[in-house]
Every structure is written in structure tokens, then in C-alpha cells.
Structure 1
């Protein structure tokens, strides 16, 4: 016993080494934690103040640069001689009726509010004596602009009529919430910060710049969730991110300052150019109080942790050492030392049971792996077919066949004339039938299912292709009596070992597209002589269908659709061509509904249901019935819309349709109707659901798409024909609408080799 204890606590014993290792780790961690806390706690306040001052300085620099840039750009605009002359004309617009000038002034204003870095929502020219405003949407009365389109309780229409600039050039006003109130809705515009600008040299003309303070705060503020305030030189609050009022501010004469008030630190900095005071509030007093408590708590926890760690180390060292000592004693007894009952040691019985179980499981796993080896190789073949790299655990299966071994591939695609309730069960039974028919002979084969409705057979050393076709003819005869389904079978030639599975699968997938429209099983060996693309309809047929739909005549539209389907059937077009034509007709019908301004709810009802219903189509009659059902309610809605259209909107739409290539604007059309532009803009938006300018741009872009199909026309000529005097503006508007430049659109959709799959005009 004494010898056992001596060996147990010897310097090189496992128990001693474990205890010393645990104690060393505990001592190092405890020392590091204590030193880190003592050192870093003294740096918290200094670092916090420095970071807040630096962050506020960066924020102030961003705001000051923004205000300076805005002022410089506005000043540069007001010093322009054409601008001054135009303002003089607009100051007496009711007398001179120069309605061509607003468009020129609007383009000047656009250089400001269209600049994303200025964060300007709108630039409003307020003609105080004439009592009207000019902004990005056009001319409006002062009461409409500030009572409807930019309404705020803090800035009613009467507020602006009382404002004067005196000797100031620029006056920044407190931010407020604005809304757009129309006849049927109210849309919040968010918080905006008005900035009044004096339009030199006219005393009664002011510019009102609507800055977006939220975007400015996002761009320049880096205070996280801490409150942030901007005050003018007189201490009036201009903007804040918090609802709480700012205590009595302490304005620094220059530079920055900070002070503690209660549980908060207030950091101030004065802008050098604007004189504004920027304030950031940071919660730090509570943190300081918590840190004092943390020091005491850390001392208690550190002491407790060290004691618990030592006791735990002793306990775990004994727990680890005792089983090993018992195992050594048991081994000694087994080899001839003092005998003992081995069964009385529970751990040995458990270890024996676990080892027996592990060996038994190992034998079972080996057997199971042998049975599953073929399935794993099927996965490897599937990865080869779809060109998917194998994972590292399957690297030994990368070479799944000999490179010089010839093979042939067959791709089966099943189609149902009416989808069964148990699609997977029917498909599985069919795949088993196919594999049993193709299993004749000594040919090595692999069956894969790349898609749910497809089966791919790889036949190695298959012999001549004629033998494969003979077996497929037998399958075709068996399926001839089956009325509910049919197959499309693509057969490859016998490839040498150099052709990859991926290329073979891609070639077979293209052969599937050669299928003709009928309900019979078809075997396709090679593509037809004339390519399928020749059966796509010309782009101009889209305009023809659009004009027929506009007429509202069922007889004319049905006859046109039937004629196109008959031409496809006469030319022996592929089933994919019929599908492409049906999709194109549906797309063109939707565009016609949009162009005729059918009400939104009605347009959604007339839209075709989501998804494609063509999976079970196998005859021209099915496509004919589907297309008739598609356009019938559309034609009825078009006739109804034509009968009830508002005369004013009818005139505007007809005029824009005939003159969209000319220099048209809202004022010109309103003058022809003896209406005010504001009223016409309001009623046009109410009746059509779209702004006048947006509708005109959409109409011009659609006309441009039609002209781009004529390869003899230059893009700059097309821009002029549809009403854009500047080709760069045309390209920018076209890309914004369609996602492509005119050149890219023409390249994609104009040539025969790249017609859209719908076969109809875009």
C-alpha cells in the first residue's frame, strides 16, 4: 500500500503532472484577467471621450461640407445669365405666357435635385408676387404645393408668404414631417429640412430646397443609436434624431467642448462656416457606476473561480488517474500478479462490452458498404453527367470508367396527357419497364435520373446503334396502346471514350427539343435538316396582334391566332415552337392591356394564371382553345374600356400616341384643352394611375423598341423620331426602363439568330 501511494505521488506520476498542469493554466488565466481589467479600466474614459470627439468631428465635417457644397452649387446657378433672364420672365408668366421657359428652368433645377450626393428631394421656385411655384413636377399654385403635395403643419401655405430674406442669401429652417395629400390618399414624404435661397436680383422670388435630413444623417452620422442634434447660430433646434428635448445648450465659442450632465455626456462642436452647433449625447455615467461595482464583483468572482478551479482540478485529476491505476492493477493480476475477481471491476465489464459491440458494428458496416457500393457509383456517374465536382470523400470514384471504353446514351422524357394523382409511382414503374427491356445481352449499363421526368441510360460497349433502335422500337410498340402517356426518346451515336458524359447529356437534351406536337412516342436520333429557329414568328407580328386586340373583334383575333397555329403545323414545327408562340401571345396581350390603361384591378384579373399549363398539351387544338380563353375576357374588357373612356383622357392619350415624337410637355397639352397644367396632371394621374411624364416616357420607349428592329436606322435617328433631342438622355431612359441599352436590345432581339423565345415584339 505504501509503495502504491509512493508511486501515485511521485514527481513523474500522472496525477502530479495533471495537477501541476491545471494549476499553471489557472494561475496564468487569473493573472491575465486581473492585469487586463486593472489596465483597461483606466483607459475606458479617455478612449470613450476621444472616440466621441473624433466621431463628432467627422460628422461635423461631413455636414459642413454638404452645406457649403449645396450653397456653392445654388450660387453658381443663380449667377448664370440665362437663369436670371428666365426668372425675370417667370416672374410675369401670367402676362407674357412664356410656357416654354419652365421646361428650361426645370432642367437647370434637375442638376441639383438629381445629384444623389446633395440629398435634395426637390427644388421649389416660389414666385411670391405671382403666387405660384415651379418644381420638378411642373407649375402649381402655392396653396396646392404646400397644402397638398408638400403639406406640413409647421409650414402651411401662409408661412411662406410671410417669409423674407433681408440680407441673407441662404436660410436653413427646422426639419418637419411632410405628406402628400391627394383626393383619395395620403402619402408620407418623411422629414424634410427646408432651406430658403434668395433668387438674386429678384426680391419676391425665393428658392426652397427640400433637404432629406435622414439621408444626410445616414451619410455623415456615425453615432449609432445615440441622440444627435443640430442647432442654428441662435440656438434654435434644426434637426434631432431623438424625441427628448435638449437641455440648455452650452455653445462653444469655437472648436469643440464636452460636459457631463447627470448620467450623460454632451459633446459639442461648432461649424466654422455655418455657425451651427452639433451635439451628440452619449450614455457613460451608468457605465462608470457599473464598472465600480464590476471591480468588486471581479475580485470576488476571481477568488471564487480560483478556489473552484483548484478543487475541480484535484477532483478531475483523481477521476482521470484512478481508472488508469485500476487498469494497470488489473493487467498485472492478469499477467500473474495478485489475483482478483475481474468481474468485480465495473469499468472493465463496460469496456469489454463496448469493444464487442464496436467489433460487431464494424463487421456490419463492412457488409453494408459492399452492398451500397453500386449506389455510390451511381452518384458518381450523376456528378459526371451534370459536371458537378465530387467531394473529397468520393475522390476515389472520380475515374468511374475506362477512358477508352465506347458507350452510347439514351435520354427518355415522359409526358402525360393528363397528370396522374401518383406521378412518382407511375414514373417509377415506367423506368423499371424500360430498364428491363434494355437489359438484354452482356452490355454493361448505368441508369440515372437527372430530372424527375427523365431517365438517362449509359450503355457501355453497346455494339451498333441499330441494335439499340430495334429495342426502342419494341418499347414504342408496347406504349402504342397506352392512352395516358407517351415518351420522347433521344438516342446518341456510339461515342468513343474521349466524349464526356456531360457533352453527351447536353446533346440529348437538345434533341428532346426536336419533338413534334402529337401524343405519340417519338424516337429522335438526329436534329432535323432545317433548324427550329426558322419557325419562330417575326417580331412585327407583335404589332399586328396588338392592333387586332385594340379593335376588340373576337372574330379577327381568333382568325389570326388560328392562322399562326396552322402555319406552325404546316411547317412541321417542334412542340417547343408552339409553346414559344403561346407564351409570346400571352406576353403581347399583357402589354396591350397595359398600353390601353385598363384599371389595375381589371388588369390583374385579365392576367394569365402563374405557371405554364402546357405540360399536358399534345395537339394544336389544345393551344387554340387556351389562346381563345386567354384573349376572350381581354377583348371584352377592351370593348368596355373603349365605351366608358373619359373624353379628356381619350384626347390626351390619342394626342400623345400621334405626336409622341414631337417636343411635348404637360403645359402644351393642357393649353390645347384650356386646362391648367396642375389640374390636367391631377386628373391624368387619377384616371390612369400614372404620371403624365412617366406615361409619355413609357410610350416613347415602346416606340423605340419597335424602331430598333429596323437595322437600317441609327440609334440617334431613332432617338429623334421618338422625341428625345439628346441621344444620351434617350440611352439613359431606355436602360432605366428595359434594363438594356438600345444597342444591347437591338443585338439581343433584332436578328433571326437571336429572336426572343416568345416570337413576338417587345
Structure 2
């Protein structure tokens, strides 16, 4: 029996189910999150109370230890023992009460210390029944019945203690009525010290209320604090508390829950046990309120989510259903939908289908061209969406990129360059097609060709063989063009094409100035660009201004030879040539040589951008420098008589105190007019000409004579050696002394 295929669910049902699944998952997550939060909240409260108890027990233990130490030191203090011996010897008669006053001072100093947390500190002498405390002395009867009265500690209690002795003893806390608290007593913890057989004792009353505020903060009705001694007897606790009501706390948790209260215990090294009792009602109430709030929010959000899911699903389903009813098999006579928006959608879909068919036909006819185009787009990170590119992406595997840079020799026009580039590309394609068929070769620019060698195996040896074979064939045409090939590293994914392209672009910049094809596999450290030193710059400027092309060219050729010896990159040669060309044009501007006259320099310097060898650079720069020197010499010969007179004066009397005002008077002009006139005719003002001539003469004297710096300064017209040093450094870039040292080093 043939089974009917399952009918697909409608969009409305699918969307509703999807929304419901999201809501159920959200509900489960919220429930688990709340349960986890509730557990963590309880654990945090327990941890907090345990930490509070631990800190409090340490501080109480330190307080009691300090109190015991104070009682011990006080008991054996020489004034306390001395006064006790006096009382024991004379039963109070003949005792030195001035010494008793000193004991009172000792007691007050300790009792009034805010860190001691003591309400009082006393010495009770049995002989004489005398008590010394922080406020003075009194009889034992008065002190224990009126000043510090307690039902738990009457006078007979202290008398019996004085007779028996007990060493250190922490007594249970009790309420004491003092002078300052007659109506409402203070809760004090007595601590006493009396060695056996002694006739007096020392005692301290620890203020537990003050200690509680300091160690716990303000009193909280939800927390109770209990102190038990080493025998488990109660030292301090809430009213009506019995140690027998404590639950067992021997477990590793350190706490127990009993009758709606948490019990936390901490035992100190001296045997005391500290217990806090925290009511669970507050925490339970907070958790219940939190549970109610979260449940209300959850139910409300669930109801809103269900309503929104249904309404939103209906809203989406209705137009989609109507749209689907209008879209089907394309029929020429299909009437448009009655709704204008959907009619527009139908027309747009038909139009898109027509365009899709046209594009598919065009793409199928231009598959090869589009593949090359898409490779270039990805190399340059140009976004496109052509299906052929997916073949390369889906193939995966590693790849290597080879970039070829073509340099056409001088005298080649655009058509010849294009034809040569096409021929090189065909040679590369043929060579790779034979050995590495999985490669793609295409032209990036007029002077750039790129090959992508794809495939999982490492084709290093095969690639090197192909490139070596190409080198032999391409070098036959080196009189027409020169080629440099840069090989990238092996990359593992097609998305790294741009990185590979950047790598070979950087590598191609390191090509040397060689008259053969170069194959670059690895990067190298480029030498520091050799340029003109400051002194050579000045010498070149002086030679050009004088129209001496031979001197200027000699400097330039030496720099070119130095670049070649250091194996500088082609780009460094181009930078050097560009800087020289810029300097020549700057000279043209400074000497006001018009564009018509300087056209010869433009023609002479034009081949610089196409130079491929050292000899071509030398020949082109020789022509450019000679042309520039001739133009400058011609301009120099055609000088204005006023300018000629001023320059002659500067060249012959530079060592004198020349001034623009003096020359203007001789010429019958104003100094302002003469200054503007010189600037307009020569491109530099009067003072620059004067300093330039003086500095040039100083350079001659520094190189040709052994005269001292100060003597040279005077000979060229600088009366102040500091001015000479400053001006020389401004023009040459170094001081006269440094310049002479550089000449000696050369």
C-alpha cells in the first residue's frame, strides 16, 4: 500500500510552534536560574554569617587575651604589690595612700582606653576590705553593693574568691547596676586573676554591649550571640538561653538549622566557644517575596509572549499567504493581483527573473574573463558576487602567489609596452600550464602580472623549475623589458589572498638594480638609503648656483655608485633620483627661470621614471644636471646691473661691515626698495646672500687652511664667534669644528 507523503505544516503553525518552543526554553532557563540563584543566595548568607562569627571570635579572643595580660601586669605591678604588702602588714594603718592614688591612675589609664572595651578595672585587697578602681578607692561593701551591684556577684562571692584564689577566671556575664546606670544595668563580663594563696585579686569588667557594637555593628534582633567556656557552661547569651538547646555542630559544615534558627559555632584556641544564632524567618520571608515577584513577572511575560506570538504570526502569515497565491508558474496571460502592492511585487519578480536569465547567458559566455576579474577583486578586496569564484573557494587547499613586475626600457611607447606585457603573460601561462595545471595567471596592471598556484601539495621545487625556465626565455628580451618575480609563502585558505598579495607587493619593492630577471623568495634587509650629507648638499647647491655642472654631477655619480655597492633596492634609486629632480626644479624657481626656458630640463629628466639600470640613471641624471647648470649659468650671465653691483660688493667686501642702508645710499635708492628689488630678481634677500657668501668662504678656509675658528670668523666679517658658529650651523647643519672633523675623516 502506497503511503501518502506527510503534508507540510503551514507557515502560521510553524511560526506558532517556534515561538512556543522559545517560550518553553525561556521558562525552563528562568526556573533553573531562579533555583540556582536561591541556592546561592542561601549559601551566601550562611558564608557571610560564618565569616562574621570567625572575625568576631578572633576579636573577642584578642580582647580577652589583652584583658588577661592587663590583669597579670597589673597584679605584679610594683605599686600594686607594694600597697598590698602595706595593707597586709598593718591592716590598713600606716598604709601609704599616695601610693594607692598612683595605683588608681594605673587603673584609669587602662580602663579609659577606648580600645580596651573595659567598663572598669579594680584591685580588691582582702586585708582591709579595700577596692581600688578607675575612679578611686572604696570599701568592698560599698563597691559591690552600691557602685557595681549584681545579684550574681554579691560581696560574699568576692570575699570567698579572695580567700580561695583561682588564678585566671572568666566569669559568666551579668547585669551590673552602676552609678551611671542605676535604672537599667549594664551587661558586663567579669574577668579576674588571683594566684592561689594571694591576699588580693585584680578584676576587669568587659563591656559586652560596647564590644558587640564594635564587633557586630548595631544590635540586630534577628541575631543572638553566645559565649561558652571550655566546660560548655554559659558565659554570655540571650535571656532564657540554655546550652542544652544547642544542636550538634560537629559536622564539617560548621552550622546547623534547628527550630527556624541557624546555629554557627567557632571554637578558639583557649577553649572558648562562640556561637551565633540567626533567625531563618527573615531570610525565608525575603526568598518568598522574591519568589512571588519573579513568578508574577514570569507568568505576565509568558502571557504577553503567547499573545504577541499569535498576533505577530498572523500578521506575517496573511500577506505571505496572499503573495504565494499570486506567485506560481510564470504564464504570459496571468492577470495582475488586485492589490497594487502585490501587483508591484509580481512585476518586480517577473523583471528579476528576466534579468537573471540574461545575466546567466552573459556569465556563461564570459566565464574565463570573469574568473580573472574575480581573482583581481579578491586580491584588491573589491567586493563582488560571481559564481565562478565559488569554485576556488570550495576547492580549499593551500596556494602560492607569484607577482611579476615589468620594467620597460627607455624609448618604449604605450602600444609596445602593452604588446610586451601580453607576450610575457602568454609565456607565463604556457609555462605553468605544462607543469602546474592548477594555476591561474592574469594581468593586474599594465606592468603587473600575477599567478595563483593552487593545490594541496607543496609545489616548491616545481615552482622553482618553472621560474628558472621562464628566466632563460625572458632574459632574451632584456633589451626590451626587465622582469622581477616575487614568490609568496604558502597559504592555507582562499580568504588569505589579500594577505598573500600584500606580501608579494612588499617583496617586489626589494628588487635590485640588475639587468636580468630576478626571482625573490625571501625578504632581505634593505641598506640605509645613501643620500647627500649636509656638506655635500651645500656643495651641490653652490655648484648649481655657479652653473658648474661637472662638480654637481661628480657628487651625484658618487652617490649612485655607493647605492649600487650597497645593493640598494630599485625603489631607493628612484627615491634618490626623485629628490635630485625636485632639487633641480627648486633651483629653477629660486632663480626665476620661466617654464619656457626650463622645458629642456623637463625633457631631460622625463626618462628618470623608466630607468632600469645604473648606466641609464647616470646618463639621464647627467643630461638633467647639465641642462639645469646651463640654464642657471645663462640666467647668471643675464643679470641686472643693480643686482650685479650688489653681488660684486658682497663677493669682494664680505669681510667688511656691509649694510643694506649703505648700499642703498650709494645707488640712490631707499633700503626697503632695494631689499624688495634684490629679492624679486634673485629669489633671496640681501642678508641671505651675505651670509651665504661668508659661509662659503668659511668652508674654503676650513678645508684649505689650518687657521683657528676665531681667526676665520674675523676674516669673513663675523666679529662675534658665537654669531659665526650659529650662522654656520644654520646653513651647513653642523658647527665649524664638526665640519673640520668631518673633512679630516673623509
- Could you state the TM-score of these two structures normalised by the residue count of structure 1? 0.39
- Could you state the TM-score of these two structures normalised by the residue count of structure 2? 0.40
Q: Which structure would you say has the larger Rg?
A: 2
* Higher RCO (CA < 8 A, seq sep 6+): 1
